[in-house]
């Protein structure tokens, strides 16, 4: 039996465009253990959100395998996926646009119960809704409120409650705090940690904010232009980043100490087009360590010390 609750093998997601296929996610593989949080970071457009949605089959994968509890769900039909969605949920980035403004808090959270036929009657479903509202910190008096009447933090708590009410095992967190104020971000992150411990949840936490990912993640995967370039434990990534792109990302984190000096790695050049990505390493055109082989051969994700890294710098090590 696999050690992973979720295992992704050679996942690809291409979108058709007039100029050719756009390689949003291009041959990525990783696993997430039960009860673990895998943080996924990278610049905007690197494919991290597309990867999360492809795993849930909100975007149909172009190729690859998605193993959940050892079963490949890529070929599941609509009926099978309806059952699977009780176990796999998502919390979206924008807590306002992801909520129907014409539905009350009770209707928004209870929609999943209605669609899946859970609960013997309206009274039982309302009791479940009130319970999950209490769990995520939503006041009971808000049950008949509408999204426009609430602040961003409460809206995101509705999104979390909506995902949680079906008792899932795995939740994709697609930048769940990026649209919130800093003080509200901390509250939501603490809530997610508490819920994970309470319900033994497994998270895929997508974000561009490295400080947030460090706070909540057990392991971190770094993506660049549709590829995973490094995976390691959270502490290892921040202590000993190996890939040049990871090093550049970490050097951009502000330091709250006036006299502390650290090398700032400035990336030059533009990100290549995902419609026509380079043949070799996709980071080669912006990498200060680039070698001739980097522009010819795409590096594989290999074990290097305590990390997995896709970089020719470590081929001989």
pLDDT band at 271 (very low <50, low <70, confident <90, very high): confident
Write down the pTM of the prediction.
0.92
203-236 tens-digit pLDDT: 999 998 888 898 899 999 999 999 999 999 999 9
Contact 227, 192 (CB under 8 A): no
Closest CA to 109 of 56, 58, 163: 163
Check residue 196 and give its pLDDT.
96
Alpha-carbon gap, residue 216 to 311, rounded angstroms = 26
- Taking phi over 0 as left and psi of -120 to 50 as alpha, with beta for the rest, 294 belongs to alpha
User: Angle 4-9-14 (CA atoms, 0-180°, nearest 5)?
Assistant: 135
Mean pLDDT, the chain, rounded, equals 91
pLDDT of 2 strictly over 60: yes
38-96 tens-digit pLDDT: 999 998 889 999 999 999 999 999 999 999 999 999 999 999 999 999 999 999 988 88
Alpha-carbon gap, residue 115 to 180, rounded angstroms = 29
Alpha-carbon gap, residue 308 to 72, rounded angstroms = 24
In the predicted model, what is the mean pLDDT of residues 248-264?
72
165-198 tens-digit pLDDT: 999 999 999 999 887 888 889 999 999 999 999 9
Contact 95, 65 (CB under 8 A): no
114: Cβ contacts below 8 Å, ≥ 6 apart: 125
In 3-state terms, what secondary structure has residue 304? strand
Q: Which two tokens stand for residue 143?
A: 């049950």
Q: At what angle do helices 182-199 and 122-136 cross, to 10 degrees?
A: 120
CB atoms within 10 A of CB 260: 7
Contact 314, 304 (CB under 8 A): yes
Alpha-carbon gap, residue 18 to 8, rounded angstroms = 29
Alpha-carbon gap, residue 148 to 91, rounded angstroms = 18
Share of the chain above pLDDT 70, in %: 96
Count CA atoms closer than 13 A to 271's CA, side-chain side: 15
Q: Which two tokens stand for residue 207?
A: 């974000």
277-296 tens-digit pLDDT: 888 999 998 898 889 999 99
Alpha-carbon gap, residue 61 to 94, rounded angstroms = 24
**Which residues, in sequence order, are bridge partners of residue 9?**
65
Alpha-carbon gap, residue 169 to 271, rounded angstroms = 36
Check residue 260 and give its pLDDT.
59
């Amino acid at each position: 039996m696999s050690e992973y609750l979720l295992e992704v093998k050679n996942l690809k997601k291409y979108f058709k465009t007039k100029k050719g296929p756009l390689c949003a996610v291009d041959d990525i593989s990783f696993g997430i253990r039960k009860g673990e949080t895998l943080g996924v970071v990278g610049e905007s457009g690197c494919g991290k959100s597309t990867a999360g949605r492809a795993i849930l089959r909100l975007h149909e994968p172009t190729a690859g395998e998605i193993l959940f509890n050892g079963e490949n769900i890529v070929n599941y039909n609509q009926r099978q996926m309806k059952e699977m969605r009780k176990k796999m949920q998502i919390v979206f980035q924008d807590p306002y646009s992801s909520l129907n403004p014409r539905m009350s808090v009770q209707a928004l959270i209870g929609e999943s119960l209605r669609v899946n036929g859970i609960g013997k009657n309206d009274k039982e479903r309302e009791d479940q809704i009130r319970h999950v509202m209490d769990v995520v910190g939503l006041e009971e008096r808000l049950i008949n409120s509408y999204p426009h009447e609430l602040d961003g933090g409460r809206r995101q708590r509705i999104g979390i409650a909506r995902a949680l009410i079906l008792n899932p095992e795995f939740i994709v967190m697609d930048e769940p705090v990026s649209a919130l104020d800093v003080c509200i971000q901390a509250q939501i992150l603490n809530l997610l940690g508490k819920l994970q411990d309470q319900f033994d949840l497994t998270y895929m936490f997508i974000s561009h904010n490295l400080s947030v990912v460090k706070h909540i993640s057990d392991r971190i995967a770094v993506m660049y232009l549709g590829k995973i370039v490094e995976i390691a434990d959270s502490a290892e990534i921040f202590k000993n980043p190996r890939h040049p792109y990871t090093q550049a990302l970490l050097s951009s984190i502000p330091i709250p100490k006036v006299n502390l000096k650290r090398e700032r790695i400035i990336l030059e050049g533009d990100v290549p087009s995902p419609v026509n990505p380079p043949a070799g390493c996709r980071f080669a055109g912006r990498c200060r360590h680039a070698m001739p082989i980097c522009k010819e051969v795409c590096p594989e994700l290999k074990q290097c010390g305590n990390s997995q890294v896709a970089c020719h710098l470590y081929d001989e090590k």
